[in-house]
Structure 1
Amino acid sequence: MSTHAGATVAVVVGNPKPRSRTYDSALTLADRLGGADLVVDLADQASELFDWSSQAVGDLVEHVAGSLVVIVASPTYKATYTGLLKAFLDRFPHQGLGGVTAIPLMLGGSPAHSLATEHGLRPLLVELGATVPTRGLYVLDSQHDQPEPYDAWFATAEQLLPTLSAPVREVTSA
């Protein structure tokens, strides 16, 4: 399904709250990759997410599937990702993220759930055909606006990620 005709770096945020800390963290991580040229804040799509005839959601699926890299971000809910994110990812067919490099990112209130990224979100992205070459990034809510968690992750992940050029355009869901 992926043609890479879409975004170079796409961001998908599964927090039910618009413009959340999860959103901010995903954009912070995208900035480390040169910036996002597609940002999908699923809170903006919640009313159409379960309408399988929604052209807007279908278009977002196509754009994300056509990305080179997608950052998939969620707060930690009940030790896993949100239902909102799952509902969006259910729109992708088998291997629908084939050819896309995915970076799982989760935020949580406690280090006790830090493995949720690796045990919950990562396997879902792999099942959809994405390549996930790095460990996922788990950021404590209290540190979401500090550079240290992103610096530490990026120091080990950078050499495993595709080389990216600067984004061509910015599209935000409204």
Structure 2
Amino acid sequence: MSARVAVVVGNPKPVSRTYEAALTLADRLGGADLVIDLADHTGELFDWSSSTVGELVEEVAASDLVVVASPTYKATYTGLLKVFLDLFPHQGLAGVTAVPLMLGAADVHALAVEHTLRPLLVELGASVPTRGLFVLDSEHADAAPYDRWLASAEPLLPSPIPTDPRSRQAVSA
């Protein structure tokens, strides 16, 4: 049985470098079953009664593995991503393995993924067994940062990680 993999991208720009990096990482993990580009849902994220956003929260919570990606803004993740994650109840990601991913313009931001995004995912109940992945914007299309991270992270990730990339289901309203 293969794991259900979700991707959540918190960049306010649709189909951004962060989006591309998240899909690259998901492909390395076997492919994404669900891709949520939060930029497509900005009008609904602040509507706490939105059934569309509620369904997205439920789908992410039902995933086995979720890649949570954000650009580095002011040394942390975006407000857009925070609003989405605020919709999860206490322990709303219990039973989900999360992989935090952040992109940034310079190495001085590399600890943002460990200092800000990883603790938020743990607070929501997710298991985060690996270091987060920080990728320089300028290297987001290169294989090397993903290969280096996967070399150390793969033994820590739950098995079985899917081995065949599946077609992505991009979610938009």
TM-score exceeds 0.5: yes
* Alpha-carbon distance between aligned partners in 1 of 2:97 and 2:105, rounded to the nearest angstrom: 27
Of 6, 12, 17, the match for 1:10: 6
Of 124, 146, 161, the match for 1:164: 161
Structure 2, unmatched stretches of 5+, are none
Asked whether the 8 Å contact 2:93–2:125 carries over to 1, the reply is yes
Superposed counterparts of 1:3-152, under 5 Å: 8-152=4-148
* Alpha-carbon distance between aligned partners in 2 of 1:169 and 1:93, rounded to the nearest angstrom: 30
- The structure 1 segments of at least 4 consecutive aligned residues displaced by more than 4 Å after TM superposition are 166-169
Cα offset, 1:169, TM superposition: 6.1
Asked whether the 8 Å contact 1:9–1:167 carries over to 2, the reply is no
Asked whether the 8 Å contact 2:31–2:167 carries over to 1, the reply is no
Cα offset, 1:173, TM superposition: 1.5
Structure 1, unmatched stretches of 5+, are 1-6
* Alpha-carbon distance between aligned partners in 2 of 1:102 and 1:41, rounded to the nearest angstrom: 17
Cα offset, 1:172, TM superposition: 1.1
Letter in 1 for 2:112: A
Percent of residue pairs bearing the same amino acid type:
71
* Alpha-carbon distance between aligned partners in 2 of 1:19 and 1:173, rounded to the nearest angstrom: 12
Asked whether the 8 Å contact 2:8–2:69 carries over to 1, the reply is yes
RMSD between aligned alpha carbons? Answer: 1.2
What is the total number of aligned residue pairs between the two structures?
168
